[in-house]
Amino acid sequence: MGWLGNVFSSKKNQLSESFDISRIRTDMHSHIIPGIDDGARSIDESIAIIQKLKSLGYQKLITTPHIMAEVYPNNRQTITSGLDALKKELDRLQLEIEIEAAAEYYFDDNFFQNVQKGDVLTFSDNYALVEFSFHSEPSNENVLFFEMQMKGYKPVLAHFERYTYFNEFLDKAKLYKELGVNIQMNLNSLTGHYGQTVKKQAEKLIESNLVDFVATDCHRIQHLTLLEAHINDYYFCKLNSLDFKNAIL
Ligand SMILES: [Fe+2]
């Protein structure tokens, strides 16, 4: 981040317009199917979150339950039936919003096997969301990304800014992009929700225009009230001048 960024980020409401979520249109990373991962715990909680997402300006939701062997052993069946139940409740309440499901795949052997079998839950034009460990740097991830693309999948790396082992360097983000990987950033990283290191990294990603997708990664309604409270912050306003692939989903 240059000195201009430092000057402006220290002052709020520098830009006249607040972050326009309706321009983002689609949220493509969240955990709002109840009871199948660490996201929404009940159908009522799911509905409250969806109402809030709609009131913030989202028109379409692609929710992405965790698939992580043993911890969250989800599959096509658990996710599809959870989504169906949620859609029924939305219909009953006459709460209109476009909603689909894919998954957030943990980078492990299980996922690699799913890729090789061609059995991956995707969204839109074959995008597949993958996350790394928060603690240790992945190895051979380029092989996975290559294999994914050979099978026709478009890799999306979840919340790049949260992998603090990449330090403050953006080299990895640039390298991944060269390899055809889409970079996704969590909006709440800009609020400081995940700590100052992650916040700084998110700001750098925005300054360098390296972000393909932005998302709420919403697990609780508090994620959304926090986001709403920061909607006039400098970096959120800056998002209005950038184009993200969310709008084409
Ligand atoms: Fe997530």
Q: Per-residue pLDDT tens for 33-53?
A: 999 999 999 999 999 999 999
Query: Tokens for 185?
Result: 């950033």
Ligand 1 center to residue 14 CA distance, Å? 31
Tokens 């800056």, residue?
238
Ligand 1 center to residue 46 CA distance, Å? 15
Residue 168's pLDDT is 72
One digit per residue, the tens of pLDDT, for the chain of length 249 reads: 444 444 444 444 455 589 999 999 999 999 999 999 999 999 999 999 999 999 999 999 999 999 999 899 999 999 999 999 999 999 999 999 999 999 999 999 999 999 999 999 999 999 999 999 999 999 999 999 999 999 999 999 999 999 999 977 799 999 999 999 999 999 999 999 999 999 999 999 999 999 999 999 999 999 999 999 999 999 999 999 999 999 999
Query: How far is 115 from 212, CA to CA, in rounded Å?
Result: 22
Tokens 């390296």, residue?
210
Ligand 1 center to residue 196 CA distance, Å? 19
Ligand 1 center to residue 231 CA distance, Å? 21
Query: Among residues 61, 95, 100, 108, which one has the least CA distance to residue 79?
Result: 100
Residue 167's pLDDT is 78
Query: Among residues 50, 57, 58, 61, which one has the least CA distance to residue 28?
Result: 61
Ligand 1 center to residue 216 CA distance, Å? 9
Ligand 1 center to residue 104 CA distance, Å? 6
Residue 3's pLDDT is 46
Amino acid at 50: I
Q: Where are the domains of the chain?
A: 17-248
Residue 17's pLDDT is 82
Query: How far is 155 from 179, CA to CA, in rounded Å?
Result: 10
Amino acid at 36: I
CATH topology for 17-248 is: TIM Barrel (3.20.20)
Please give the model's pTM, rounded to 2 decimal places.
0.92
Provide CB contacts within 8 A for 244, sequence distance 6+: 24, 211, 212, 213, 214
Residue 13's pLDDT is 46
